Structure 1
Amino acid sequence: MGFKIIADSSNDMTPELQSKYPVEIIPFKLTLDGREYVDDAQLDPIQFITDMSAAKDVPRSACPSPNDFLEAFEGDEDCFVVTISSKLSGTYNSAQIAKEMYLESHPDKKIHLVDSKAASIAETLISMKLHELIEKGLDFNEIIEVITGYVNEMKTFFVSESLDNLIKNGRISKLKGVLATALSIKPIMGAEDGEIRMFDKARGSNKAFDRLVEMIMDNAKSVEDKILAISHVNNPTRAAHLKAELQKRCGFKDIIVVQTRGLSSLYCDRQGIIVSF
């Protein structure tokens, strides 16, 4: 029978990670100035970031439909579906509708939806953890129990050099965004109970970076068996610096660095850094 892992394209899986941890990605559709992009393996993330920087209108995203998930459910494998937080997108709801429809005609199929309560690289870590549990030989219900605890313990933080898209999409009020930009204030944001929250702020990029490191260290308890993941919006130098700093100061089993896909780039915006563990 076996298992299949499915995720939406908020999951920042790279081709290199995909070769080791296969995940079927269901893409979001992204729109810049009326032009539609499919957030799949054919999307050039660097060109998308360039186009995004030049866009004048509010960037838009459309979540996968129930039919997209129905197609992914085909096959003999039981399925785990990892989605962006249900409080940030309709993706979880689309997957839930598809699950109910599919089980009507395939009652013996097992499908479990994993609400990441976050986005981006958090979904990647959840997908990797699912593979680890499958390889250990856990059964379907045992995997559900362990992955639920894993998700509940996860921490996700992010810092962006630009607040433009968060302002345009209403994630930050226009007044707060304009003031923050004018004063070079960088919010350190993250996921809490599935919603985006501002945890702290700092004046300038370097101080925001230092505060991000401090927040990670404050939350990095008993991490010897954990992987920390960094996703960046075309900011490999800053991501490498963060990795080196955390390797010196924390005891994570491993630290991985990836480039964001389209959706994460859209919301974290230019030069953004996302961290999950």
Structure 2
Amino acid sequence: MSYKVIVDSCGELTAEMKASGRFETASLGLEVGDCHIIDDESFNQAEFLKNVAECPTCPKSSCPSPETFMEGYHCDAEHVYAVTLSSELSGSYNSAVLGKNLYEEEYGEKDIYVFNSKSASVGQTLIGMKIAQCEERGMTFKEVVAAVEAYIEEQHTYFVLETLETLRKNGRLTGLKAIAATVLNIKPVMGATPKGEICQLGQARGIKKALKNMVDCVIADLKDPESKVLAISHCNCPQRAQDVKKMLEERVKLKDIIILDTRGVSSMYANDGGVIIAV
């Protein structure tokens, strides 16, 4: 059975995913001052981070249009899946659902399903990989949907950032109590609630201790680690990502650990030096 997976550009794609021809990106837009950037293959992280650092206003993102998703669904694949960042953080999920409705009005019924990742970044990557794994096993469309929804319910996301300012200024930290003062170099360890909202899991003084604290949180939540693929994404800090991988490998045996660079949207919210984990 032919299938296709559309991941909005907050989700990173591995080299294997890109090479498979099964995956497509629905690009979000990024605004840095007067500059509009499309988060596609042309995204230049170094240039983007430089522009953000020099811009007095906070960068913003805009979700893909319903028409973008509709065009993605219009293909030869019999099963089409979309994976969007958490509906609590973006309009991308609603846009993908609206795109499905538009497609069906225009072309009729088709097996299309939109997954609300309740995560972001590499959380979406792992969900995309899970869809492909289920499809390759020959599961029916309904079986794939059920298996992947169950996977999403069990998935955990964690992150440590140098600054939460972009998230705060763009209203993504609503409902959170005041975050500890940055003057003390306190770095919060953040995660996602089951609903897909951002929550605080802990904090530590300095980034190294915060990363260790994050690893502690990952280990505490892990069940059946040998069957799990863990993904790490980083914004312009490959050594930091490798250090986190090493910390994990010293304490637990996982099926695999993959490391990816953040794309545009994740780079915008994670900021220079941010590390995200999903498992």
TM-score by length of 2: 0.94
Could you tell me how far apart the structure 1 residues matched to 2:165 and 2:250 are? 33
Q: How does 1:1-277 map to 2 (within 5 A)?
A: 2-15=2-15, 17-20=17-20, 22-77=22-77, 78-172=79-173, 176=178, 180-192=181-193, 193-277=195-279
Deviation of 1:73 (Å): 0.9
CA contact (8 A) 1:26 1:68 kept: yes
- Partner of 1:161, secondary structure, is coil
- Name the CA distance, whole Å, in 1 between partners of 2:160 and 2:166: 13
How far does residue 15 in structure 1 lie from its aligned partner after superposition? 4.0
Paired residue type of 2:183: A
- Residue 57 of structure 1 aligns to which amino acid in structure 2? T
Q: What is the distance in 1 between the residues matched to 2:153 and 2:105?
A: 30
Q: Deviations over 1:56-85 (max 9, x none)?
A: 112111101111111111122121000011
How far did residue 164 of structure 1 move?
2.7
Q: CA deviation at 1:21?
A: 7.1
In the alignment, the residues of structure 1 paired with residue 234 and residue 197 of structure 2 have an alpha-carbon distance, to the nearest angstrom, of 20
CA-CA distance at 1:267 after TM superposition: 0.8
| TM-superposed deviation, 1:20 | 4.3
Secondary structure of 2:181's match?
helix
**Alpha-carbon distance between aligned partners in 2 of 1:270 and 1:180, rounded to the nearest angstrom:** 19
- CA 1:270–1:258 in 2, change beyond 3 Å: closer, same or farther? same
* Structure 1: tracts of 5 or more residues without a match: none
Structure 1 residue 180 displacement after superposition: 2.2
Q: Once the 2 structures are TM-superposed, how far is the Cα of residue 270 of structure 1 from its aligned partner?
A: 1.5
- Counterpart of 2:200 in 1: which secondary structure? strand
TM-score by length of 1: 0.95
Of residues 1-10 and 123-132 in structure 1, the stretch that sits farther from structure 2 once superposed is 1-10
Secondary structure of 1:255 counterpart: strand
Q: Tell me if the contact between 2:161 and 2:187 (Cα under 8 Å) persists in the aligned partners.
A: yes
The one-letter code of the counterpart of 2:58 is: V
* RMSD between aligned residues: 1.8
Moved over 6 A (4+): none
1:181 CA displacement:
1.3
